Amino acid sequence: MSHLNSYLTAAGGLLAGLATAAALLAWQRRIIHQQRQTLTARERDRSYWHCLATHSDTTELPNRRALRTHLEATFSLGEPLGLVFIDLDGFKWVNDTYGHEHGNDLLYQVGQRLATLGPPAALVAHLSGDEFAVVVHGNAGDVEDVARTAYVRISGLPNNVGDTAVTLTASVGYALAEPYMLPRDLLRAADQAMYLAKARRSGAHAHDPSHNTPPGAVIRYRDLR
């Protein structure tokens, strides 16, 4: 009988130990699960804030910061590179007539059309307001082709603004990176070309490398509009 009692006592101790171990294991699993959820939430937060910092919340396209980062990285490779600047003509009229919400819808439509340009267009960015930019990895002919295609996609097709079809035109300037240039120089060159396209109503206009900015002139030519 004493042997049976000893056996039962030992068995009971073993079961109690197993139950304690199971409870401890379950607790550990809960902690690990909670930690994983916390890490996943942090990763989501980091991804969300990174997206806010590098993308336009109106068009969901990369923003000016992302454009500069891309240019700086590409300049370091020393490969053929060009930049296209796009400004929508008459966009203020759309905002004033239909309201900012419909204006934002139009910007989104334009952004989506530009986003489907495909190679050699490497990055399409929404800079601010009604200004867009396209980075082109290619030679002078490639840059010109992308610029003229972007012009046609914006100026040649109507956009839905509420229940109304609205046709816009665009002023497009483009420039090719030269050996002496830095990223800011290419940005300035494309901006100058775009300003001339708007001033001359020429649709798409190439930057003239022989053109020098007069002393004391406004560097951001779009500020003159």
Distance CA 61, CA 8 (A): 71
Helices (H), the chain: 2-54, 64-75, 91-98, 100-115, 140-155, 183-200
Report the C-alpha gap between 206 and 189 in whole angstroms: 9
Active-site residue identified among 57, 87, 89, 130: 130
Q: Any catalytic annotation for residue 45?
A: no
- Mapped onto helix, strand or coil, the DSSP state of residue 129 is coil
Which residues are marked as active site? 130
